[in-house]
């Protein structure tokens, strides 16, 4: 369930209150006339089940509250209310499966910023993976996968492609491109520095590495794993099952593949660098395709569910 806080000017307040009152998934509706100061207007609060949240938010934006007032939503962790139980029963679908598109867009949009923290995380993750490649240590590879922040821009790219947000698409592609290029360049330099210090050498890369050689030898299963991880990752974001997202991060070899490209390039082993680059491209493309298809199926499912319940679908 979400708690909505709406500030509406007096001329829009009745329409907002009527919209919320007519929605079966809304309960605990409160209207406080004239209490808002910035911007000026009425404060309207309510709780809405997640199954109805997208439709309610879409209706509020059609009224124009987002331009003349404001809309805020927050998760309600605990609700003890018979009225809330009735609202959940009346709303179509399951709250665990509900997709709130504005929430997903806001959440993933934050991940497209090319910030210093993002760059440091992806550089550190790639450098850790580079050492893991040379030592043939899966533990370091897994650690690098968890540290890597690249799934955020990938998820944002999927949402932006579905909703045709060109600005977010550009920012996501920029974050991925600049992030991986900076990470690989830093890993090349760190590999040279570690080699000069006598801590690693080219023979470690050329030696048999049975535990990590899958990173630069892509095959059909690379596509399968990438597609499955894309589906699981998008579901973890849309259904708030964030615990499964860690498993997704550990499943896909994006950062390790970039690290192997950098280490192999540092030593001039171009066939291995090419194989790793192909692995990276396969995983990135598979995640985006699977994530986009998952979102499209979810959108179609909820559209059909809303149509069967004789109410207009959002989005």
What pLDDT is recorded for position 222?
86
Return the SS3 of 31. Answer: strand
What is residue 309's DSSP assignment? Answer: T
What pLDDT is recorded for position 214?
83
* pTM, to two decimals: 0.79
Residue 280 and residue 216 share a domain: yes
What is d(CA 249, CA 136) in angstroms, rounded to the nearest whole number?
Answer: 19
Domain ends where: 64, 81, 97? 97
What pLDDT is recorded for position 81?
87
Residue 289 and residue 153 share a domain: yes
What pLDDT is recorded for position 313?
42
Nearest to 157 by CA among 175, 144, 139: 175
What pLDDT is recorded for position 273?
94
What pLDDT is recorded for position 84?
85
Nearest to 130 by CA among 144, 114, 146, 151: 144
* C-alpha separations of 229 from 5, 213, 217 in Å: 35, 20, 19
Q: Which residue stretches of the chain have pLDDT < 70?
A: 92-97, 240-252, 305-315
Give residue 19's domain range. 2-97
**How many CB atoms within 10 Å of residue 177?**
12
What pLDDT is recorded for position 312?
46
Asked if 236 and 245 count as a contact pair (C-beta separation under 8 A), the reply is yes
Residue 108 and residue 93 share a domain: no
Asked if 248 and 151 count as a contact pair (C-beta separation under 8 A), the reply is yes
Return the SS3 of 272. Answer: helix
What total of structural domains would you count in the chain? 2
Question: Domain containing 66 — which CATH number?
Answer: 3.30.70.120
What is d(CA 184, CA 87) in angstroms, rounded to the nearest whole number?
Answer: 52
What pLDDT is recorded for position 89?
80
Residue 141 and residue 194 share a domain: yes
Q: Which helix (H) or strand (E) holds 5?
A: strand 2-8
What pLDDT is recorded for position 122?
94
What pLDDT is recorded for position 267?
94
Residue 89 and residue 144 share a domain: no
């Amino acid at each position: 369930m979400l708690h909505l806080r709406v500030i509406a000017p007096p001329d829009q307040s009745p329409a907002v209150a009527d919209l919320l009152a007519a929605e079966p998934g809304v309960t605990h509706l409160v209207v406080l006339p004239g209490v808002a100061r910035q911007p000026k207007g009425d404060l309207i609060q309510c709780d809405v089940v997640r199954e109805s949240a997208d439709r309610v938010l879409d209706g509020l934006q059609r009224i124009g509250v987002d331009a003349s007032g404001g809309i805020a939503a927050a998760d309600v962790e605990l609700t003890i209310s018979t009225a809330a139980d009735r609202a959940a029963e009346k709303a179509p679908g399951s709250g665990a499966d509900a997709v709130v598109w504005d929430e997903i867009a806001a959440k993933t949009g934050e991940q497209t910023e090319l910030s210093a923290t993002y760059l440091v995380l992806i550089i550190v993750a790639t450098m850790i993976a580079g050492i893991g490649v040379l030592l043939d240590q899966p533990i370091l590879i897994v650690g690098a996968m968890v540290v890597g922040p690249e799934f955020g821009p990938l998820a944002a790219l999927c949402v932006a492609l579905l909703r045709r947000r060109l600005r977010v698409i550009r920012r996501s592609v920029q974050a991925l491109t600049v992030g991986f290029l900076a990470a690989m360049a830093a890993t090349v330099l760190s590999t040279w520095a570690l080699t000069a210090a006598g801590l690693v050498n080219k023979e470690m890369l050329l030696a048999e590495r049975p535990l990590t050689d899958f990173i630069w030898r892509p095959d059909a299963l690379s596509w399968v794993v990438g597609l499955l991880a894309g589906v699981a990752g998008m579901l973890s974001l849309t259904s708030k099952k964030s615990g499964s997202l860690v498993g997704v991060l550990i499943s896909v070899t994006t950062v390790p593949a970039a690290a192997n490209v950098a280490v192999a390039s540092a030593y001039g082993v171009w066939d291995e660098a090419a194989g790793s680059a192909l692995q990276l491209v396969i995983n990135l493309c598979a995640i985006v395709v699977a994530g986009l298809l998952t979102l499209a199926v979810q959108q179609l499912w909820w559209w059909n569910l809303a149509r069967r319940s004789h109410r207009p679908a959002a989005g």
